[in-house]
Amino acid sequence: MTPCWLLNENFPQPSVLCLRARGWDVAAISEDSPSIDDEVVMERARAEGRWLATFDRDYGELVFKRRLSAPGVIVLLRVTSYLPQEPADWLVQLHEEQQLQEGCFHIFDGHTVRRRPFLAGLSGGLS
């Protein structure tokens, strides 16, 4: 089963549409809540039970330095040059290869993924 996703404002619209065409349940900040604070984005992902995908490095600070509660999964896409549909392809690939683990912050560089577990009790996916 494919998880529900919240795609941060910087996620390209062609990728949003591509994931929806594949039948994925995605909500996009750029469509319904542009310019909201990162903390609000993260809280929305938690409240709606969605995994969060972003290009914004600030989420690592929110989770690990400020110790804010995180959604079940955060994927930071650390790629600077890409085609607009590639982020969708990356999420599909990571999902199909079962590279995403509940309770972890994932950093994807376009080729490899690194995982860092959230601190105990700070993820919506951990008890």
Compute the Cα dihedral for 78, 81, 82, 84 and give only its sign.
positive
- Report whether 118 contacts 126 (CB < 8 A): yes
- Domain of residue 38, residue span: 5-117
Span 93-123, pLDDT tens digits? 999 999 999 999 999 999 999 999 997 544 5
Residue 67 lies in a domain: yes
pLDDT at residue 127 in the model: 32
Structure pTM? 0.91
Residue 51, helix vs strand vs coil: strand
**Average of per-residue pLDDT values in the chain:** 93
Whether residue 123 lies inside any domain: the answer is no
Predicted confidence (pLDDT) per residue in 3-18, tens digit: 999 999 999 999 999 9
CATH of the domain at 108: 3.40.50
Helix (H) or strand (E) run with residue 69 in it: none
How many domains is the chain partitioned into structurally?
1
pLDDT of the residue at 71: 97
Beta strands in the chain (DSSP E): 5-7, 26-28, 51-54, 73-77, 104-108, 113-117
**pLDDT of 66 above 70:** yes
The verdict on residue 85 lying in a domain is yes
Confidence of residue 125 (pLDDT cuts 50, 70, 90): very low
Q: Is residue 112 part of a domain?
A: yes
Kindly give, in sequence order, each residue whose CB lies less than 8 Å from that of residue 10, ignoring residues fewer than 6 positions away: 30, 54, 55, 56
Residue type, 90: W
Distances (CA, A) of 92 to 7, 21, 35, 75, 98: 14, 12, 26, 12, 10
Instruction: Report yes or no on 122 lying in a domain.
Output: no
- Is 95 part of a structural domain of the chain? yes
Query: Does a structural domain hold residue 38?
Result: yes
- Does any domain span residue 125? no
pLDDT of residue 119: 75
